Amino acid sequence: MAFVLGIDIGSAASKGILLNDQGMQASYECPSGGDFKLTAERIKKELLSQTQKSEKEISRTVATGYGSTLVAFADEVKPDMVCHGKGVSSLLPSVRTVIDVGDLYTKVLHIDGHGSMHNFLLSGKCAGGSGRILQVIAKVLHVKVEEIGELSLKSKKRIDFSTGCAVFAESEAISRLSQEVTKEDLLAGLHRALAAQINSLVERIGVEQDVAMVGGGARDVGLVQALKEVRNQDILVPPNPHMTAALGAALIAMEGLKDKIET
Amino acid sequence: MADEKKEVKPKKRMTATQAAASIGPMVKEFITGTLRARAEGKQKIAYTFIVCHHEEIFRAMDVVPVWTENFAGICGAKRDAERFLQRAESLGLSRSLCTYALCGIGFDQWREELGQMPPDAPWGGQVRPDFMISSGQILCDPRSKWYQASQQFMPDVPIYNIDLPYPLFQRDRDHRDVWDYYHQYIVKQLRGLVTFLEEQTKKKMDYDRLRELVDLSDRTWNLIEETYDLRKAVPCPMGTGDAMNTMVPINFMMATQQAYDFFVNLKKELEEKIAKGEGEVENEKYRLMWGGGLPAWFALTDFNYFNSKGASFPVETTYRMVAPLNQMDIPETKDPIEHLAWRWLGYWTFWYDKAKKRPGSEPDVERLINRIEEYKIDGVVMHEAFSCRTWHVGLIWQLHQLAKIYKPIPVFVTGKGGKKEKIYRELPSLILESDIIDITSYSEVDTKNKIDAFIETLESIRLNRAA
């Protein structure tokens, strides 16, 4: 039985999925660290260890993400948006617009029923409107980044957070804390400001229904809720939304394998 | 004071045509020529802006134009703009202003402070002018403000401003109802420029010579149209990367025999390439349009990156500042000044009638649609240069309108009842983001990631396109 590997080396976190024609066999994620080559090797090793497989049994590997070109053992490198499209479509076939809130960028893409991308838009070089701001604030508030979504939903009096800039957000948060604003209200305000920025990107390209949110930002329930409120519409979130690019990469690897067999 | 170290030299862009490759030395000689003119002191030197239809007047009066946007672009292309931008910032000017203007102002301040060219000035530097001709035209705001700022460091150098308006597009109005008024006004403006130049040069305008130069320009306009039309060929023999070089004779050398001869040679070269079936890229897979925005002058090698993916750029809207004169509905006149004013109006209103015929269209969008069809375009690429506000604002809107009213791609989709349906989609588009010369706004990794994703999109559409 053929196994394929999809590997997503992101700027903050890296993920891998081992797949065969029965479905997903193993998944793994870890911080990307400073050495992307080493991280890729680590992911492969971990997935093989989980499934008790050997390297020779992996028939094809597709790499994606910020550090994808450094994955020396990859057979193919694909843009992460292409992989997100494939991954989301396999989990939520009705989705036509995907919002990926990553560490450094937010991306919006339109896909067809097969997960093929036919238009997209990225946020600019500035990290404003991306997930990085959430990590910055988590550090300021001394909370884990995984906790900020739930905290935000407990807000009773959301503040107006004036910036979506990752740099200015830190100083604004500190000054708000000195005014005795609660963590919950501050986070709700931040989520709303971030959601507004993401929404302006979404509006630039337009929306085709259904809409899904993926990437690390989609694990933050507070941010998802804020975006739903700003857009006044439902937004689907697949299980493990941060893994969809790795999943898509694995699916593309599987497709590549089939093409190879057919030819 | 700002860090005044030079930046790292850029890699040279590979050109598809010999003509484009010849532009670098041509521009260098052009800059050297201005320095020579200054040293000899026989001709007056004027700072000025491109696309003002006044080159013929300058050349008829033997005034040497210094195209200040050109010099800033050279600094950007040589990745040597940052020290001049930092100079301007240290004077209190914001980086969010036009970076061409900032670069020029920073350079002028430095040159005036030293009393000589700044160290290692690109290609010898921008020469001190005798006067500055600014423009209050609608194209962009620095055209009237830039020289006022530079004048702080050169208070003895006079400024003359010409105003060049044109009637804005109104769907329910014929621009010809009002353009006589515009024409009279522009003629007055241009005659005022002649008077100013006569005062400065102590010479009278030779109108026979002016007529000859206007005729030379007109012939060059038509020749450029014929030459660029050859790029409709499949495969395309010359792309936008090269056109960012061949814009030099169009924008900086009009009304010269050299510009005319340049296009004679380019036309011949393209005809030869077409006869041999030679394209800009070896295996042309995608035909793209540069749909707007000034380029990132420091990153022209990005065009080579597109080419490496099989993408060619047969057409662009940027810097194609000509239109076929025989298709302009403008009155004939023997007065060269009046003709210049009519040509100005004819150029800026060129797409008005066509745009009115298509519901929801506007002149800029109509131009895109026509180019897409004439050049068989698969996708549109635009560049949002953050400091170029005039272009920046309109680009997104143009793309929106284009997507709204023009859906040329047939695809099959599975409808709600599971039935296969044929629908039409808009052309895919890519917006690159950085600046004209501010390299701090640019990320090579991001740009290449975007290009990669765009190519994937084009490929996906190519595969899914319904027959």
Could you read off the pLDDT of A157-211 as tens digits, one per residue? 998 887 666 677 778 888 888 888 899 999 999 999 899 989 988 998 889 999 9
Percent of chain B with pLDDT over 90: 83
| Closest residue by Cα to residue A124 from A51, A204, A57 | A204
Q: Say which amino acid occupies B167.
A: P
Contact assessment for residue A95 and residue A212, using Cβ atoms and an 8 Å cutoff: yes
Query: Looking at the structure, do residues A80 and A122 belong to the same domain, yes or no?
Result: no
Side-chain-side CA neighbours of residue B423 (13 Å): 11
Residue of B nearest to A122 (CA): B450
Reading the block at residue B421, the tokens are: 């349906």
CA distance A178 to A170: 13
ipTM, two decimals:
0.82
Query: Looking at the structure, do residues A188 and A102 belong to the same domain, yes or no?
Result: yes
CB < 8 Å from B in window 203-222 of A: 204, 206
Contact A112/B at CB under 8 A: yes
**Which residues on chain B are in Cβ contact (under 8 Å) with A106?**
none
Write down the pLDDT at residue A11: 87
Contact B441/A at CB under 8 A: yes
Q: Which of B403, B428, B450 sits opposite A122 (nearest CB)?
A: B450
**CA–CA min distance A53, chain B (Å):** 32
CA distance B383 to B395: 8
Reading the block at residue B284, the tokens are: 């042309």
Contact A82/B at CB under 8 A: yes
CA distance B158 to B289: 41
Q: Which of A66, A81, A204 sits opposite B453 (nearest CB)?
A: A81
Where does chain A have alpha helices with state H?
Answer: 36-51, 80-91, 132-141, 148-153, 166-178, 183-205, 221-231, 244-262
**Average pLDDT rounded to a whole number, residues B276-288:** 95
**CA–CA min distance B224, chain A (Å):** 34
Residue with tokens 């999925």: A17
Query: Looking at the structure, do residues A88 and A172 belong to the same domain, yes or no?
Result: no
CA distance B214 to A4: 68
Contact B413/A at CB under 8 A: yes
For A112, residues 6+ apart whose C-beta sits below 8 A from its C-beta are A96, A118, B411, B413, B464
**Which residues on chain B are in Cβ contact (under 8 Å) with A118?**
411, 425, 428, 457, 460-461, 464
Write down the pLDDT at residue A127: 62
Query: Looking at the structure, do residues A135 and A232 belong to the same domain, yes or no?
Result: yes
Contact assessment for residue B296 and residue B450, using Cβ atoms and an 8 Å cutoff: no
Dihedral of the alpha carbons of B453, B459, B463, B467, in degrees to the nearest 10: 120
Count of CB contacts below 8 A, A vs B? 53
Query: Looking at the structure, do residues A75 and A179 belong to the same domain, yes or no?
Result: no
Query: Looking at the structure, do residues A83 and A112 belong to the same domain, yes or no?
Result: no
- Contact between B457 and A119 using a beta-carbon 8 Å cutoff: yes
**Average pLDDT rounded to a whole number, residues B371-390:** 94
**Average pLDDT rounded to a whole number, residues B89-103:** 94
**Average pLDDT rounded to a whole number, residues B400-414:** 89
- Contact between B411 and A112 using a beta-carbon 8 Å cutoff: yes
Contact B450/A at CB under 8 A: yes
Q: What is the DSSP string of A230-253?
A: HHTS--B--SSGGGHHHHHHHHHH
- Contact between A79 and B453 using a beta-carbon 8 Å cutoff: yes
- CA Rg value for chain B: 23
Write down the pLDDT at residue B227: 97
Query: Looking at the structure, do residues A3 and A87 belong to the same domain, yes or no?
Result: yes
CATH code, A33 = 3.30.420.40
Burial B70-86 (b: 16+ CB within 10 A, else e): bbbbbbbbbbbbbbbbb
Query: Looking at the structure, do residues A210 and A256 belong to the same domain, yes or no?
Result: no
Kindly tell me the burial class for residue B227, based on how many C-beta atoms sit within 10 Å of its own C-beta (0-12, 13-18, 19 or more). buried
Residue B260: how many other CB atoms lie within 10 Å: 19
Write down the pLDDT at residue A164: 63
Name the average pLDDT for chain B: 93
**Average pLDDT rounded to a whole number, residues B180-209:** 98
Reading the block at residue B365, the tokens are: 């969008």
**Average pLDDT rounded to a whole number, residues B162-179:** 95
List, run by run, the mean pLDDT of 10-residue segments along chain A (263 residues): 92 94 93 93 95 93 94 94 96 96 90 90 72 84 90 91 72 84 91 91 89 95 95 95 97 85 52
Contact assessment for residue A79 and residue B456, using Cβ atoms and an 8 Å cutoff: yes
Dihedral of the alpha carbons of B173, B176, B182, B187, in degrees to the nearest 10: 170
Q: Is the pLDDT of residue B1 over 80?
A: no
Q: Is the pLDDT of residue B286 over 80?
A: yes
Q: Which of B428, B434, B449 sits opposite A119 (nearest CB)?
A: B428
**Which residues on chain A are in Cβ contact (under 8 Å) with B453?**
79, 81-82, 117, 120
Query: Looking at the structure, do residues A231 and A103 belong to the same domain, yes or no?
Result: yes
Among B90-99, B161-170, B386-395, B408-417, whose mean pLDDT is lowest? B408-417
3-state secondary structure of A60: strand
Please, what is the Cα angle at A127 between A123 and A133, to 5 degrees?
Answer: 125
Q: Is the pLDDT of residue B5 over 80?
A: no
**CA–CA min distance B295, chain A (Å):** 16
**CA–CA min distance B396, chain A (Å):** 8
Contact A124/B at CB under 8 A: yes
CA distance B231 to B20: 14
Q: Which of A79, A80, A204 sits opposite B396 (nearest CB)?
A: A204
| Tally of domains in chain A | 2
Q: Quote the crossing angle between the two packed helices A132-141 and A166-178, to the nearest 10°.
A: 30
- Contact between B413 and A118 using a beta-carbon 8 Å cutoff: no
Query: Looking at the structure, do residues A30 and A43 belong to the same domain, yes or no?
Result: yes
Query: Looking at the structure, do residues A149 and A48 belong to the same domain, yes or no?
Result: no
**CA–CA min distance A49, chain B (Å):** 32
Q: Classify residue A161 by its DSSP letter.
A: -
Contact B393/A at CB under 8 A: no
Residue B66: strand pairing partners: B47
Residue A235: how many other CB atoms lie within 10 Å: 18
Beta strands A76-77 and B311-316: pairing type? unpaired
Long-range contacts of the stretch A148-151 (C-beta < 8 A, 24+): A148/A187, A148/A220, A148/A222, A149/A219, A149/A220, A149/A221, A149/A222, A149/A223, A149/A224, A150/A221, A150/A222, A151/A183, A151/A184, A151/A187, A151/A222
CA distance B215 to B147: 30
Write down the pLDDT at residue A32: 92
For A148, residues 6+ apart whose C-beta sits below 8 A from its C-beta are A134, A137, A138, A141, A187, A220, A222
Residue with tokens 């629908």: B423
**Average pLDDT rounded to a whole number, residues B211-217:** 97
Reading the block at residue B70, the tokens are: 């050109």
Write down the pLDDT at residue A177: 84
Chain CA centroid to CA A143, Å: 21
CA distance B428 to B425: 9
- Contact between A125 and B396 using a beta-carbon 8 Å cutoff: no
Query: Looking at the structure, do residues A58 and A152 belong to the same domain, yes or no?
Result: no
Contact A81/B at CB under 8 A: yes
Residue with tokens 């390209």: A205
- CA Rg value for chain A: 19
- Contact between B453 and A204 using a beta-carbon 8 Å cutoff: no
**Average pLDDT rounded to a whole number, residues B389-401:** 85
Residue of B nearest to A84 (CA): B453
**CA–CA min distance A91, chain B (Å):** 17
For testing the chain B interface, which of A104, A109, A120 should be mutated: the one with the most B CBs within 10 Å? A120
**CA–CA min distance A99, chain B (Å):** 15
- Contact between B456 and A117 using a beta-carbon 8 Å cutoff: yes
Contact A200/B at CB under 8 A: no
Structural domain range at position A72: 1-92+240-263
Kindly tell me the burial class for residue B298, based on how many C-beta atoms sit within 10 Å of its own C-beta (0-12, 13-18, 19 or more). buried
Q: Say which amino acid occupies B249.
A: P
Q: Which of B426, B433, B464 sits opposite A125 (nearest CB)?
A: B433
Contact A139/B at CB under 8 A: no
Residue A180: how many other CB atoms lie within 10 Å: 6
**Average pLDDT rounded to a whole number, residues B439-464:** 90
- Contact between A125 and B434 using a beta-carbon 8 Å cutoff: yes
Q: Which of B403, B413, B428 sits opposite A113 (nearest CB)?
A: B413
Residue of A nearest to B455 (CA): A79
CA distance B107 to B2: 13
Contact assessment for residue B307 and residue B333, using Cβ atoms and an 8 Å cutoff: no
